[in-house]
Amino acid sequence: MNRPSLSSRLRAAAAERQARQAVRRRRTVIAREDMTALVDGVQLVDFCGNDYLGLSRHLDVAAAQQEAIAWHGVGSGASHLVSGHHVLHEELEAAVAEWMGYPRALLFGSGFNANLAVMQALLGPGDLCLQDKLNHASLIDGARLSGATLRRYPHGDLGAAARQLQGEAEGVALIATDGVFSMDGDVAPLRELALLARAHAATLYVDDAHGVGVLGPGGRGSVAAAGLGVREVPLQLVTFGKALGTHGAAVVGTEEIVEHLLQTARPGIYTTAAPPAEAAATLAALRLAQSEPWRRAKLMSLVLRFRRGAQRLGLPVLDSSTPIQPVLIGDNARTLAAAQALEAAGFWVAAIRPPTVPEGKARLRITLSAGHTEGQVDDLLLALSEAVGAAPATEPETA
């Protein structure tokens, strides 16, 4: 028999990762305070998390979860459709729907799960799923699992998207896009995509994991920031693990789509409901995101401060106006070395390498939070200019 052994395949893959300097390693956090983390015994300012509003250790959020645990325990006991659906889940769905201005919301255990669920429930063989090339992995995997034809257009290329839609005129078409692209920080051309969807009788689905809580009026995300709503974007993904600082996700959508997901989406049906106390925590975080707009204002002023400083120092920052501020380096080893130099200076910044980003596009992914101080941002900029080895720009700043 010529069957290859699993072990030899895994050894080859490990050797290949080693050769490409692409081995990933988890860091262990021992304690956190404000925006610093004690990591493997070293105190670092965290510039790689997605806790954009600084809510993940907020005392009100923690107290809400603790109180709910005292009343309701730590587990849900079953899936939502069996006996795990709790009044706290119900309250959270209602609050998310109301906040986002949508008729209805449906909870999922995670954003990744929600994307698998949405694609599987809405699409099948013969249908078309059109996606931006830089979409999150969960959207791509969801489309593959659904059996629909997956077409990926070059990042933001609406002409290519239109051609791909024209090429597949049979079957239902879903256009799926990140609202804010997680590794580049730029915002999708949502108004143009909405027009495209309308012209081709397609449905637009926006995964706004990094936009909700951060962008738009009331923090309602990139769709609201573009002046759009349920009419143009009948389904959106909201995740709780980023700006809201907790865990889990919900989709918001029309009554018809959400009911169909509840009835048929396997990754939502065959899984244990999240603990009710987790819903209580997210509800508390949501209230803070609504009632404390200063968090968004402070975050955006830090984004501006970082960008002005980066331009002055000649750092190769990508064009992003969101809290995701990537510094493009290109080469894997150089990116890793820059991240290590930053760490030696007391900053925790993620070195993002392929396959998370395309080959040759390795980068430092810096994320800002309302929890950071201006001083921390200024210190990071200085450390970055040394770590990246960029020469200060000679031209005075104009913008």
Ligand X SMILES: *Cc1c(COP(=O)(O)O)cnc(C)c1O
346: left (phi over 0), alpha (psi -120 to 50) or beta: left
CA distance 388 to 368: 19
| Shorter beta-carbon distance to ligand X: residue 112 or 348 | 112
- Give the shortest CB-213-to-ligand X separation in angstroms: 12
Segment interacting with ligand X, rule: CB under 6 A, options 14-22, 108-116, 148-156, 314-322: 108-116
| # binding residues, ligand X (CB under 6 A) | 14
Site for ligand X in 161-190 (CB under 6 A): 178, 182
Beta-bridge mates of residue 389: none
Segment interacting with ligand X, rule: CB under 6 A, options 202-210, 289-297, 308-316, 364-372: 202-210
| Shorter beta-carbon distance to ligand X: residue 118 or 315 | 118
**Burial class for 106, CB neighbours closer than 10 Å (0-12, 13-18, 19+):** buried
Q: What would the two tokens of residue 7 be?
A: 């072990």
Segment interacting with ligand X, rule: CB under 6 A, options 87-95, 191-199, 205-213, 253-261: 205-213
Helix (H, G, I), strand (E, B) or coil at 98: helix
- If one asks whether residue 49 binds ligand X (CB under 6 A), the answer comes out as no
In terms of DSSP H, where are the helices of 153-293?
158-167, 190-199, 222-225, 255-264, 266-269, 276-291
- If one asks whether residue 46 binds ligand X (CB under 6 A), the answer comes out as no
Among 52, 112, 306, 348, binds ligand X (CB under 6 A): 112
| Shorter beta-carbon distance to ligand X: residue 107 or 383 | 107
| Shorter beta-carbon distance to ligand X: residue 311 or 356 | 356
- Give the shortest CB-209-to-ligand X separation in angstroms: 3
* Active-site residue flag, 242: yes
CA distance 31 to 146: 41
Segment interacting with ligand X, rule: CB under 6 A, options 109-117, 120-128, 221-229, 350-358: 109-117
Segment interacting with ligand X, rule: CB under 6 A, options 25-33, 61-69, 107-115, 384-392: 107-115
Q: Which secondary-structure segment (H or E) carries 35?
A: none
Name the closest residue to ligand X (Cβ).
Answer: 111
277: left (phi over 0), alpha (psi -120 to 50) or beta: alpha
| Shorter beta-carbon distance to ligand X: residue 252 or 383 | 252
Among 110, 164, 246, 367, binds ligand X (CB under 6 A): 110
- If one asks whether residue 239 binds ligand X (CB under 6 A), the answer comes out as yes
* Active-site residue flag, 210: yes
Taking CA atoms, 398 is separated from 164, 312, 384, 393, in Å, by 40, 10, 21, 12
Site for ligand X in 11-30 (CB under 6 A): none
Which has the closest alpha carbon to 397: 272, 308, 269?
Answer: 308
Among 211, 213, 234, 241, binds ligand X (CB under 6 A): 241
CA distance 34 to 59: 12
- If one asks whether residue 210 binds ligand X (CB under 6 A), the answer comes out as yes
- If one asks whether residue 365 binds ligand X (CB under 6 A), the answer comes out as no
Beta-bridge mates of residue 91: none
- If one asks whether residue 207 binds ligand X (CB under 6 A), the answer comes out as yes
Which has the closest alpha carbon to 103: 258, 221, 255?
Answer: 255
- If one asks whether residue 138 binds ligand X (CB under 6 A), the answer comes out as yes
In terms of DSSP H, where are the helices of 101-187?
111-122, 137-146, 158-167
| Shorter beta-carbon distance to ligand X: residue 243 or 381 | 243
Site for ligand X in 243-272 (CB under 6 A): 249
- If one asks whether residue 366 binds ligand X (CB under 6 A), the answer comes out as no
**Cα distance from N-terminal residue to C-terminal residue, the chain:** 68
- If one asks whether residue 335 binds ligand X (CB under 6 A), the answer comes out as no
Which residues make Cβ contacts (< 8 Å) with residue 216, sequence separation at least 6? Answer: 222, 223, 224, 225
CA distance 186 to 135: 12
- Give the shortest CB-141-to-ligand X separation in angstroms: 11
φ, ψ of residue 125 to 5 degrees: the values are -55, 140
Annotated catalytic residue within 242, 298, 361, 372: 242
Q: Contact residues for ligand X (CB under 6 A)? A: 110-112, 115, 136, 138, 178, 182, 207, 209-210, 239, 241, 249
| Residues acting as catalytic residues | 182, 210, 242
